[in-house]
Amino acid sequence: MSTFVLDCSVVMAWCFEDEFNAFAQLVADRLAGSSQAIVPVIWPLEVTNVLLVGERRGRISAAHVHNAVRMLTDLPIAIDSQAMDRTFREITFLARQHKLSTYDASYLDLALYRGCPLATLDAGLRNTAVQLGIDTTFSGP
């Protein structure tokens, strides 16, 4: 089973119709196949916050939020609990070094720590990942 880091931007492309794109579909297909995603500990809070903000702004309904959360809990997504001890060292360093939020740096750190690709639609995060030698293309099997 192949493993990759999944960031919030890809998940939001699944949850908001106007954000859906081919890359998000490719990542969804990987999860439906033989891949597993890993996420930092902040991921569930980040995802649900974006969904609730979307609900408050009238982009999606409460039922849509409920269905999205149910769908996400059924996917092969594992939360990396090891990140807590890296937050004050590696994640803070990455955020400072690359002028990122600590949230974005947590995805980079996880991809570096686990040695796996990063699925993101965030251009700045993707560019930094490429600079660090992290695969963001999802080409191949």
Q: What is the DSSP letter of 88?
A: I
Distance CA 69, CA 50 (A): 12
Confidence of residue 139 (pLDDT cuts 50, 70, 90): low
Please give the pLDDT value at position 48: 97
Helical spans, DSSP H, in 37-139: 43-56, 62-74, 83-86, 92-98, 102-114, 123-131
For 15-60, write each residue's pLDDT tens digit: 999 999 999 999 999 999 889 999 999 999 999 999 999 999 999 9
- Report all structural domains of the chain as residue ranges with CATH numbers, in order of start: 2-131 (3.40.50.1010)
For 57-103, write each residue's pLDDT tens digit: 999 999 999 999 999 999 999 999 876 677 778 899 999 999 999 99
| pTM to 2 decimal places | 0.92
Crossing angle for the helix pair 123-131 and 102-114, nearest 10 degrees?
40
> In this predicted model, which residue has the larger pLDDT, 67 or 139?
67
Confidence of residue 141 (pLDDT cuts 50, 70, 90): very low
Q: Determine contact, residues 5/115, Cβ cutoff 8 Å.
A: no
